[in-house]
Chain A
Amino acid sequence: MLAQNTDKVNIDFLKDLSGVKNADDLEQIRIKYLGRNGVISKLFNQLKHVAIEDKPALGKNLNLLRSEVTSQIEKLKSSFVSQKSKGDLQMDLTLPGKKYQIGSKHILTQTLDEIKSIFKEMGFSVHVGPELESDYNNFEALNFPKNHPARDMQDTFFISKDFLLRTHTSPVQIRLMENMKPPVRAIMPGRVYRNEAVSARSFCMFHQVEGLYVDTDVTFAELKGTLVSFASQFYGEDLKYRFRPSYFPFTEPSAEMDITCFICKGSGCKICKNTGWMEILGCGMVDPNVFENVNYDPEKYTGYAFGMGIERIAMLKYGITDIRIFFENDIRFLKQF
């Protein structure tokens, strides 16, 4: 009984559908078959009167019918709509698309991300530390004694006698080594502060990435290898470089790494002070005094550390000549990257 009704409804529907001429006709058909008191609803109501063993098959048929009817109606409906738009409006595909805004990370964040991904692939972890630091972590543990001229290398904002705004990310090295045993291999990005007059070339706040690798057989030769690999991934394969002796209290021996000035390609210009070289980072072998301060055995372990300024790198890479623009946050600047 119900099965036959189902077939009949299907045939009636197809007949009705063939007579549809416009969207209004279609809506009438939709109400007739799919409305709350429509033909198909009624069929569903009959379902409760059929024998229990027939229910699954009949139910399935009814659902099929409903979805078939629904899809036929929808299909016809969309054809009416597209006919209509063809008739009413010749679409102008040259109109601009609707605007969608994807934000962006600050260019300094993007630069750091690039640096981070290179070192992460080499097996470095990433750690962070606080900006308001103790004098001990920022200086003393790193082998800058009180009243030592080396402190002049980093003009400091003091908060109190024993607290300051960290002048470099190196105190994170101390925090890390105090909390774990070797091997330690990590980079440590963060914000640092220097009490220097603000100008186009320097700002009182900037960002650094610190690197540290300590194990039983880490050598200066590996330090060079790691940094050369980093620099050629970051600056380009055909890079020329040199390591120049320098001085940092927490490394011994210490070095600065220069690469060919990419403004003048080494022929000498104002930016590289006619040397043809551009300094990109400081590095060295971890000083034994630092190891002693964190209770590592300096006879057993050796290690290297390095650090670079992110603003400087971004300025060179993107041709930015005034460091202050990073922190003005002019939306036109932020949207460029």
Chain B
Amino acid sequence: MKISLNWLKEYIDLEGISIQDIINKLTMSGLEVEDFVNQNEKFKNFIVGYVEENEKHPNADKLTICKVTDGKKSYQVICGAPNVQKGQKVVYAPIGTIIPKGNFEIKKAKIRGVESFGMICAEDELGLGDDYTGIMVLDSNLKVGQKLSDALELNNVIMEIAITPNRPDALSHIGVARDLTALFDKELKIPEVKLNESDIDINDVASIVIEDEENCPRYSARVVTDVKIEESPGWLKQRISGIGLKPVNNIVDITNFVMFECGQPLHAFDLDRLEGKKIIVKSTKGKTKFTTLDSKERELLPDTLMICDDKGDVAIAGIMGGENSEIYQDTKNVLIESAYFNPSSIRRASKHLQMSTDASYRFERGTDPGNTLYAAERTAQLIAKIAGGEIAKGSIDVYPKKIDNKKFILRHNRVNKVLGYKISKQHTLKIFNRLGMKTTELSEDEIEVTVPTFRVDIEREIDLIEEIARISGYDNIPTIPKISISLGLKHDETLFTDRIREYCNALGLYELINNPLQPKHFAALTGNAIEVSNPQSIDMKYLRTSLLSGVLNVVTRNLNRGEKNLALFEIGNIFNLKKGKKVVSSFNDFDEEEILIFVLTGNKIEREWYSDTESFNFYDIKGMVNSFIDKISLDNLLNDSYYTTDNSIYEYYLTKFFKDRVIGNGGKVKDHVLKQFDIDQDVYCFEFNLDALKEIPVVSKKYAELLRYPRIILDFAFIFDKETKFEDVSEFIKNKGSKLLKYVNVFDIFESKEIGDNKKSIAFQLEYYDSSRTLTENEVEKDFENLIKLVSKKFNAKLRGN
């Protein structure tokens, strides 16, 4: 919210306090000054100039050569505005001036062959208005050569203050001034209202009925008759435009002025356009349509609080008035509405209508129910003063259940317990009093604090403690550089995934992080996707059901950028609706699981002086998966299944089971899946369900005695039928071999014409040992010869001669 320093000074004496000090104190007490403009600084170089002569530029139709004087010296200035005339007083920017719009410096220039020394400015270039059609022509009474800031009283500081949602009381100049009185220990000066009333009794010309008391606890009104709708006087326009509002007419400007003065939103109705001269406050029953004063027809929810007259709706309460009752040029009699509405009712309606107005913004945060009458009278006073007219006698104030000031007990010891330091009682009392709260000392430790109705955020003792802390300054709270030791058990639920990341790095994989929000065709690829009901775009409408589509998209992006060799991993959550569920109405309706995915594509080794190119294949991903499993000590607990027939994602793949549960799955991604991602090279992926992995009880490691006797290693090779599987043979050998056979590995495999079509050769290496003695060659030999016979027979295989 924009706050004007000059305006603030009407309510507090800030004489002798620097701007920087004010800004710092506000920021450090919770009213954060995000930005500020010091007009003195901004306009320091501009001066009031006088156009002595003007003639057409010889080389350009639209340019004029002017002679501008600052009273001492004349300057030649080229001007492009159509309205420049000899004899005008104008805003002259000499060389070296920084122009606010565009933030550029004026330099000596040659325009179409003619030199120009400075610039004559338009309103928008100065940031003083929107007009860019011509130069700003100044009042002819101004003194030539005078500083513009002095001439136009542009000596203000405009601050942009971020008001947190708990502080609606600070959404006005008086509100901000009140905090300043506490910060600088000053008096708050609230404008006094004295009204000259006419003989017309307000009750004879208007009436008000509240039907929905819950949502409209108070409605105050004043009537001013015989007003004249005109442009506002200069001072008012300046106040209003200074904080970024557009002046409209005197009545509207006054209601805005009072709102930004004291925080109470006001609405001015044309009394004569109110049917029956009556206001009824009630909520809509069904769905209704209503045309607001911006000429838009809007659909309202049932139970929307409305302001009505005898005939129908005239305003959406607290949000915007209607076309049918607004002030217009011929308005004579005005009814000023100053009400207190239930914040959540206004918020609900404003959310639904997606309308946030200065009024609704305040109402939904909570205005002061105690201040409605004051605001109505302050408005009436200003209308009578500025727009003429007479204030009808009396006010209407419907306030069925008075909202009282709240009272809370503050314990000084509690302040100490929460903040960790002692603050003097005297100082505490002063803070509360400056903030408009009355205090009564009850005992040594306790005081009773009466909190006025404008402080909607103060509802408990802790809220009072916050007031003390923020006004006396957080900087005054000591910083204790120690933390007490707690000997309880420490957990780290991220330890497992941290370890996994380390192993993935050791495998040469880089971690990626994807956005889980995806378009439908990605999410639907692998599961029963959950939809976001208010997405930002259709590209982010669904939650991912696996990590696969996300990583394939990353592959695509890298390929498009010429990066073709990728070895990546991701750890992230996936979301699936459970079978038969359509919506998420409990945690039982969906699964959120943590998944790890490996991705390999392109070349594992590029062409090098020591090696030829080698691309990733199935055995790379299988090898990584197994090394990983080994590292997390699950190598003996999981079972593998291989599938050479495709599923919806993979052309061929490997599945890891723990008992009956699938723990991981992956292989070569099918071409038609890759096609959807515009990928034209092989991609291998493997996904692990980390939640499932974490649940497998790991057998804790025990030291195994190191082998002290020699191993005997023998090898043989057979020619098999081509369809023979390595694992069938190796399992067979392991089963049939003696107890001394400890390990079977494959070290060579090939096919060739010489060994025959549909044949392949597999060479095995067998490792024998006993942990308690040295083996004799004989006993190993015997087993080895036996295996040769058994394998030959079982697999119809032929031993290859050496």
- Chain B contacts of A95 at CB under 8 A? 609
Knowing A36-B777, A99-B608, A221-B479, the reply to whether A185 touches B561 (Cβ < 8 A) is: no
Knowing A123-B485, A132-B530, A221-B477, the reply to whether A330 touches B491 (Cβ < 8 A) is: no
* Cβ of B540 under 8 Å from chain A: yes
A153 to B165, CA, bound (A): 8
* Cβ of B513 under 8 Å from chain A: yes
Knowing A101-B567, A132-B530, the reply to whether A244 touches B486 (Cβ < 8 A) is: no
A57 to B111, CA, bound (A): 112
A306 to B470, CA, bound (A): 18
Contact B469 A253 (CB under 8 A): yes
Contact A109 B501 (CB under 8 A): yes
What 1/0 mask marks residues of chain A from 75 to 118 whose CB sits below 8 Å from any chain B CB? 00000000000000000000110111111111011000100100
A113 to B486, CA, bound (A): 22
- Chain B contacts of A13 at CB under 8 A? none
What 1/0 mask marks residues of chain A from 190 to 210 whose CB sits below 8 Å from any chain B CB? 010101011000011100000
A116 to B491, CA, bound (A): 12
A231 to B460, CA, bound (A): 32
Contact A226 B477 (CB under 8 A): no
Min CB gap B207→A, angstroms: 31
Question: Which residues B471-489 have CB closer than 8 A to chain A?
Answer: 474-475, 477-486, 488
Knowing A132-B590, A162-B585, A228-B481, the reply to whether A247 touches B510 (Cβ < 8 A) is: no
A156 to B511, CA, bound (A): 28
* Cβ of B421 under 8 Å from chain A: yes
Which listed residue, A128, A198, A226, touches B483 by the CB 8 Å rule?
A226
What 1/0 mask marks residues of chain A from 313 to 337 whose CB sits below 8 Å from any chain B CB? 0000000000000111111101100
Contact A204 B536 (CB under 8 A): yes
Min CB gap A336→B, angstroms: 10
- Chain B contacts of A127 at CB under 8 A? 491, 493
A198 to B569, CA, bound (A): 25
* Cβ of A142 under 8 Å from chain B: no
- Chain B contacts of A191 at CB under 8 A? 516, 572-573
* Cβ of B492 under 8 Å from chain A: yes
* Cβ of B410 under 8 Å from chain A: no
**Which among B501, B513, B569 has the greatest number of chain A C-beta atoms within 10 A?**
B513
- Chain A contacts of B165 at CB under 8 A? 148-150, 152-153, 247
* Cβ of A63 under 8 Å from chain B: yes
Contact A125 B462 (CB under 8 A): no
A140 to B457, CA, bound (A): 17
Knowing A243-B475, A334-B511, the reply to whether A219 touches B483 (Cβ < 8 A) is: no
Which listed residue, B167, B478, B568, touches A247 by the CB 8 Å rule?
B167
Contact B531 A159 (CB under 8 A): yes
**Which among B35, B474, B488, B534 has the greatest number of chain A C-beta atoms within 10 A?**
B474
**Which among A103, A156, A326 has the greatest number of chain B C-beta atoms within 10 A?**
A103
A247 to B457, CA, bound (A): 11
What 1/0 mask marks residues of chain B from 287 to 321 whose CB sits below 8 Å from any chain A CB? 00000000000000000000000000000000000
A106 to B554, CA, bound (A): 14
Which listed residue, B28, B469, B484, B504, touches A220 by the CB 8 Å rule?
B469
A29 to B141, CA, bound (A): 121
* Cβ of B419 under 8 Å from chain A: yes
* Cβ of A5 under 8 Å from chain B: no
Contact B479 A44 (CB under 8 A): no
Contact A222 B420 (CB under 8 A): yes
* Cβ of B558 under 8 Å from chain A: yes
A328 to B512, CA, bound (A): 9
Contact A222 B585 (CB under 8 A): no
- Chain A contacts of B485 at CB under 8 A? 123
Knowing A149-B347, A247-B164, the reply to whether A225 touches B554 (Cβ < 8 A) is: no
Question: Which residues A244-284 have CB closer than 8 A to chain B?
Answer: 244-247, 249, 252-255, 273-274
- Chain B contacts of A99 at CB under 8 A? 605, 608
Contact B475 A219 (CB under 8 A): no
A105 to B502, CA, bound (A): 8
- Chain B contacts of A44 at CB under 8 A? 776-777
- Chain B contacts of A125 at CB under 8 A? 490-492
- Chain A contacts of B515 at CB under 8 A? 203-205, 327
Min CB gap A183→B, angstroms: 5
- Chain B contacts of A193 at CB under 8 A? 517
* Cβ of A309 under 8 Å from chain B: no
* Cβ of B774 under 8 Å from chain A: yes
Knowing A103-B510, A103-B567, A149-B347, the reply to whether A247 touches B610 (Cβ < 8 A) is: no
Closest to A245 in B: B30
- Chain B contacts of A18 at CB under 8 A? none
A285 to B738, CA, bound (A): 70
Knowing A147-B348, A229-B481, the reply to whether A245 touches B557 (Cβ < 8 A) is: no
What 1/0 mask marks residues of chain B from 211 to 236 whose CB sits below 8 Å from any chain A CB? 00000000000000000000000000
* Cβ of B508 under 8 Å from chain A: yes
Min CB gap B120→A, angstroms: 30
Contact A219 B418 (CB under 8 A): yes
Min CB gap B25→A, angstroms: 11
**Which among B511, B573, B609 has the greatest number of chain A C-beta atoms within 10 A?**
B511
A243 to B477, CA, bound (A): 10
A15 to B761, CA, bound (A): 42
Min CB gap B509→A, angstroms: 4
Knowing A148-B344, A183-B488, the reply to whether A128 touches B494 (Cβ < 8 A) is: yes
- Chain B contacts of A148 at CB under 8 A? 165, 344, 347
Min CB gap A221→B, angstroms: 3
Question: Which residues B517-535 have CB closer than 8 A to chain A?
Answer: 517, 530-535
Given contacts A103-B504, A160-B533, A252-B462, 15 further A-B contacts (CB under 8 A): A105-B505, A126-B494, A126-B495, A159-B533, A159-B584, A183-B486, A204-B517, A205-B516, A219-B417, A225-B481, A247-B167, A255-B474, A273-B35, A285-B462, A288-B462
List the 5 closest pairs (A to B, CB-CB), nearest first: A219-B420, A221-B420, A245-B30, A247-B164, A253-B466
**Chain A to chain B contacts (Cβ below 8 Å), 30 pairs:** A98-B610, A103-B504, A103-B505, A103-B567, A105-B505, A109-B513, A126-B492, A132-B584, A150-B166, A157-B517, A157-B532, A158-B533, A159-B584, A189-B494, A215-B484, A221-B420, A222-B480, A224-B474, A226-B483, A243-B474, A243-B475, A247-B167, A252-B462, A252-B463, A253-B419, A326-B513, A329-B512, A330-B557, A332-B563, A335-B510
The chain A residues found within 8 Å of chain B, CB to CB, are 36, 41, 44, 59, 63, 95-96, 98-106, 108-109, 113, 116, 120, 122-123, 125-128, 130-132, 134, 146-150, 152-153, 156-163, 165, 183, 185-186, 189, 191, 193, 195, 197-198, 203-205, 215, 217, 219-222, 224-226, 228-229, 242-247, 249, 252-255, 273-274, 285, 287-288, 302, 326-332, 334-335
